[in-house]
A and B are shown apart, each in its own frame.
Chain A
Amino acid sequence: NAGVTQTPKFQVLKTGQSMTLQCAQDMNHNSMYWYRQDPGMGLRLIYYSASEGTTDKGEVPNGYNVSRLNKREFSLRLESAAPSQTSVYFCASSGLQDQPQHFGDGTRLSIL
């Protein structure tokens, strides 16, 4: 039972490069989320997808784009990476809004 799978686990980028973080869940959940976690802080919501075909901005969406590819997959794209986007990125899913979320183990992203 894989739950939520994120790839890659680690990545180093140069300023201005682009990349896509992948997330897939096998729990048939409707809703998916992308968060970032900076040292000593809680998670901040970047984007979420309430259901397949919809996406909405969270607290810190600037510099990111998302795609809900299908019910299982939700990707996060950095078009032009900046050092301020160095962080740990977590993907999560839930069956319904306001319900427990299941998290992946994160992608550790460093931008030089």
Chain B
Amino acid sequence: SQQGEEDPQALSIQEGENATMNCSYKTSINNLQWYRQNSGRGLVHLILIRSNEREKHSGRLRVTLDTSKKSSSLLITASRAADTASYFCATAPGGFKTIFGAGTRLFVKA
């Protein structure tokens, strides 16, 4: 079963708009991570947020974590065509056994 579930499954926006995607998980965690995957490539780590953090920023990325609701959100501000990719959340409740969600496919139209 999937620990992380992303929502929406797909998102299409115009360049310059903000993109928000959500992730829910089922068990307690030490941290939650977000990854990006460009078509035909491997995953690239974007940001890690620890269970005792509520919000974290990295450039145009903003991640929030609500452990009471077991959910996280990834906000990409001022989207660019180059942000077109799939985005995955990941948790490792058992230490090494990382569980990825099914991902959100983001398409940014120029």
Contacts and interface: CB of A to CB of B under 8 A. Distances in A.
A19 interface: no
Interface residues of A, number: 27
Q: Is the interface of B mostly helix, strand, loop or mixed?
A: loop
A98 B103 contact: no
B64 interface: no
B25 interface: no
A43 interface: yes
B42 interface: yes
Given A42-B2, A98-B92, A98-B95, A105 B42 contact: yes
B13 interface: no
A12 interface: no
Q: What range describes how many residues of B lie at the interface?
A: 20 to 34
Contacts of B103: 41-42
Interface string B63-104: 000000000000000000000000010001001111111110
7 contacts: A33-B96, A35-B100, A40-B102, A42-B4, A90-B42, A98-B30, A98-B96
A101 B92 CA distance: 11
A100 B33 CA distance: 7
A103 B86 CA distance: 15
Contacts of A56: 96
A45 B2 contact: no
Interface in B20-70: 30-31, 33, 40-45, 48
Interface string A91-112: 0100001111111111000000
